[in-house]
């Protein structure tokens, strides 16, 4: 079941994100950052257990980022990630955004969802706001992908 995150979900969200951050597949997120951005997050639950999460972060008047997409390994390839991304896209459309983007290592997954690879320089608001603060800057190896809604 898909739903909006609550403050009591944050430690669980961080645990899922840390699993992939330790593998170098996601950037780690601090508890304070997660609490500050709770309105961006949705969770996917199986019973009472959170098995996946994602966030839609509005970057500009027409652009949003699908970020922090993570599904517990035993639930991958069951459509959970797809549902999480589709929810973010529906929310983006509801807000009036025309495009979503992601920075990812999962190019095949996002390609199947209609995203196309672009040069990071085509995302200036993202680069100057978040990327300058990132430990990977300026040598980021994530792939920028965009979808027109």
Determine contact, residues 65/72, Cβ cutoff 8 Å.
no
Are 44 and 71 contacting, i.e. CB atoms less than 8 angstroms apart? yes
In the β-sheet with 2-4, what is the strand arrangement from edge to edge? 2-4, 41-46, 49-60, 63-71, 99-104, 143-148, 116-118
% of the chain beyond a pLDDT of 90: 78
The CATH number of the domain where 79 resides is what? 3.40.630.30
Q: Determine the structural domain holding residue 27 and report its residue range.
A: 2-148
- Render pLDDT for 35-84 as a digit per residue (tens, 0 to 9): 999 999 999 999 999 999 999 999 889 999 999 999 999 999 999 999 99
Helix (H, G, I), strand (E, B) or coil at 104: strand
Q: What is the pLDDT of residue 122?
A: 86
Counting residues of the chain whose pLDDT is more than 70, the rounded percentage is 89
Helix (H, G, I), strand (E, B) or coil at 115: coil
Which pTM was predicted?
0.91
Count up the domains in the chain and report the number: 1
pLDDT at residue 126 greater than cutoff 80? no
Q: Which of the four pLDDT bands, split at 50, 70 and 90, describes residue 26?
A: confident
Phi, psi (deg, nearest 5) at residue 100: -125, 155
Mean pLDDT of the region 20-29? 90
Average pLDDT over residues 130-146: 71
């Amino acid at each position: 079941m898909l739903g909006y995150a609550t403050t009591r979900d944050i430690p669980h969200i961080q645990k899922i994100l840390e699993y992939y951050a330790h593998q170098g597949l996601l950037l780690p997120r601090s508890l304070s950052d997660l609490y500050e951005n709770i309105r961006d997050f949705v969770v996917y639950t199986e019973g009472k257990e959170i098995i996946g999460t994602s966030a839609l972060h509005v970057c500009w008047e027409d652009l949003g980022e699908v970020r922090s997409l993570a599904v517990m390994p035993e639930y991958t390839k069951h459509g959970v990630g797809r549902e999480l991304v589709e929810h973010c896209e529906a929310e983006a459309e509801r807000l009036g955004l025309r495009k979503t983007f992601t920075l990812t290592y999962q190019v095949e997954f996002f390609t199947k969802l209609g995203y196309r690879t672009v040069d990071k320089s085509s995302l200036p608001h993202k680069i100057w706001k978040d990327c300058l603060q990132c430990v990977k800057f300026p040598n980021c190896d994530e792939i920028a992908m965009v979808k027109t809604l």
